[in-house]
Amino acid sequence: LSVDKDSDLMHVIHVTAEMAPIAKVGGLGDVVTGLARACLSRGHTVDIMLPFYECLPKQQMTEFNLICTYDSYHDGKWVQTNAYRAVASGIPVILIEPANQFFKGQRIYGGSYDELEAYLFFCRACLEYMQKPRIVLTIHNMEHYGECRKEQFGKSGLDGDVYATTDKAVDDRTIGHNPERLSLLKGGIVYSNAVVTVSPSYLKETLGSGWLSSILIKYRDKYNGVLNGIDTSLWNPATDPFLPAKFDAQSLAGKIICKEYVQRGLGLPIKSVGSGTHVKGKVPLVVCITRLVAQKGLHLIRHAIKHVEELGGQMVVLGRASNGQVEKEFESLATLHNQGSSIRILLIYSEELSHMLYAAADMVLVPSIYEPCGLAQMIGMRYGAESKDDRIFGGGLSVLFYYGVLGMVPIVRRTGGLADTVFDMDDKSKHEVSNGFVFEGIDEKSLSSAMDRAFTFYSDKPDEWQKLVMKIMQIDNSWNNAAGKYISIYNSVRSH
Ligand code: ADP
């Protein structure tokens, strides 16, 4: 990344539970890595502090060193703690390893230890390591409210009773929550030097309603909405090691190869066999890559599967459920559809497959009920056919004409960061920025109508589709802009 260096340099440490690709479950991991890389390239010193999960892929880290051993407190005892340094994905990391059972097991979340206590321990151990930090808290998802009993909080060495008031860590809007309990997120908002959330629309939504709205209103002056970017070195179709063919503006043919590779690999026909929607035998491939949780609009994903089949398209869902009931439901859908010729439901986590699917997709679907930012739509646009390069209007265009319909268009529900990044094709007031298909309601009809419009556009207006793809290619969703905003916030809280 060639960006100008900042003049006033800082040491920024991200304290996080996830980091892509070594410890990624969802977007949090992507965001930490992307922001850290962007700050590094602006000249700052950056570290990512992460629990030393037993399941970390050590072969993906280099320059591994034990830097110090110190004691950190937990539940009446001092626990010996090792801090290691390493480099992962080009970024310095500090791994915190307590000599107890915390962070053991084969997955990032869902181990057999008490997670709340383990992360409380981790936070304290990080603060002890840093000694005198100023703190910016980023809220990635308000739903993770950090409900905590006073005695549990006490295990960190702080007295839970001291924080059990509504001006500190007890929320005054207790809908669905126990007023006797603390909210770690609320405490974080009160005591941080600044607070950020991951899109301007989510900032408005969180101030307007919800559990912590009153405290956010009270601290409005230190609360900022900064739209996430995507890490354009991990998400780059011109260099992506997971793709069977690379592509960019000069060699768009690679996108066709990726689509056919995925179709062949999953046993989907390359050309439309039925009488459904298709263009010169081409069939649109809809991709939905998501954690399968209520927030993501599970009933809408199920409906999309049915509707894509009715429309004669193809759809691949890549998702993992953390809830047994949801897993069962999607397993039966997989059994019903996976032998057919249009739908594949893959209930696994696979970074590799996710890259291939974004590269293969004609449409990326994100039907979330709420979405603080959402990365899938941005990654999809980046893999629509990469490049902001003007030369696209040379060689690239002729490839587009040769292959017919090519490139990816997002279909999303209008909420949070999705509303900040995707603007409807038929919204005349947003004509300048329109880049996809947007629906409002959480009912099946709303989704169907957006999908119908996208399919009709794909089949009836291939030239317009190509123009739209051109436009999507010009959009810069990289961290360049957003990192600058984070740097100004970091600067604003510095003690001079
Ligand atoms: P969230 O943070 O709520 O999970 P985001 O859209 O911000 O949602 O980020 C999701 C990230 O996780 C994206 O990079 C997406 O590609 C990835 N992802 C989600 N589910 C899977 C999966 N089953 N396999 C691989 N990657 C996944």
Q: Is the pLDDT reported for residue 407 higher than 90? A: no
Residue 236 lies in a domain: no
Q: Is the pLDDT reported for residue 391 higher than 70? A: no
CB of 291 closer than 6 angstroms to any ligand 1 atom = yes
Both 389 and 429 in a single domain? yes
Burial of 185 (0-12, 13-18, 19+ CB in 10 A): buried
Give residue 21's pLDDT: 95
What total of structural domains would you count in the chain?
A: 2
Residue 36 lies in a domain: yes
Average pLDDT value for residue range 312-323 = 96
Atom of ligand 1 nearest to the CA of 295: 3
Residue 49 lies in a domain: yes
CB of 206 closer than 6 angstroms to any ligand 1 atom = no
Q: What's the 460 CA to ligand 1 centre distance in angstroms?
A: 32
Average pLDDT value for residue range 324-335 = 98
CB of 84 closer than 6 angstroms to any ligand 1 atom = no
CB of 318 closer than 6 angstroms to any ligand 1 atom = yes
Give pTM, 2 decimals. 0.92
Give residue 148's pLDDT: 92
Q: What's the 350 CA to ligand 1 centre distance in angstroms?
A: 10
Both 89 and 136 in a single domain? yes
Q: Report the residue among 140, 291, 322 best suited for mutation to probe ligand 1: largest number of ligand atoms under 8 A from its CB.
A: 291
Both 441 and 485 in a single domain? no
ipTM: 0.99
- What is the CB neighbour count within 10 angstroms for residue 414? 20
Residue 431 lies in a domain: yes
Res. 399 pLDDT band, cuts 50 70 90: very low
Residue 100 lies in a domain: yes
Flag the least confident range among 269-273, 438-442, 463-467.
269-273
Atom of ligand 1 nearest to the CA of 318: 23
* Residue 113 CA to its chain's centroid (Å): 26
CB of 377 closer than 6 angstroms to any ligand 1 atom = no
Both 386 and 270 in a single domain? yes
* Residue 398 CA to its chain's centroid (Å): 34
CB of 89 closer than 6 angstroms to any ligand 1 atom = no
Question: Tell me: the pLDDT tens digits for 76-115?
Answer: 999 999 999 999 999 999 999 999 999 999 999 989 999 9
Give residue 125's pLDDT: 98
Q: What's the 364 CA to ligand 1 centre distance in angstroms?
A: 13
Our CA dihedral for 101, 107, 112, 113, rounded to 10 degrees, sits at: 50
Flag the least confident range among 25-34, 142-151, 355-364.
142-151
CB of 301 closer than 6 angstroms to any ligand 1 atom = no
Domain of 182, CATH number, reads 3.40.50.2000
Both 180 and 317 in a single domain? no
Both 486 and 344 in a single domain? no
Q: What's the 260 CA to ligand 1 centre distance in angstroms?
A: 23
Give residue 191's pLDDT: 97
Both 67 and 190 in a single domain? yes
Both 92 and 186 in a single domain? yes
Q: What percentage of the chain reaches a pLDDT higher than 90? A: 78
Give residue 280's pLDDT: 57
Both 488 and 460 in a single domain? no
Domain of 17 in residue numbering reads as 11-230+481-493
Question: Using CA positions, which residue lies closest to atom 24 of ligand 1?
Answer: 349
Residue 387 lies in a domain: yes
Average pLDDT along the chain = 91
Residue 3 lies in a domain: no
Both 213 and 293 in a single domain? no
Both 348 and 261 in a single domain? yes
Residue 248 lies in a domain: no
Res. 430 pLDDT band, cuts 50 70 90: confident
Q: Report the residue among 28, 139, 290, 378 best suited for mutation to probe ligand 1: largest number of ligand atoms under 8 A from its CB.
A: 290
CB of 143 closer than 6 angstroms to any ligand 1 atom = no
Q: Is the pLDDT reported for residue 251 higher than 80? A: no
Average pLDDT value for residue range 433-445 = 97
Both 66 and 203 in a single domain? yes
CB of 234 closer than 6 angstroms to any ligand 1 atom = no
Q: Report the residue among 287, 289, 352, 377 best suited for mutation to probe ligand 1: largest number of ligand atoms under 8 A from its CB.
A: 289
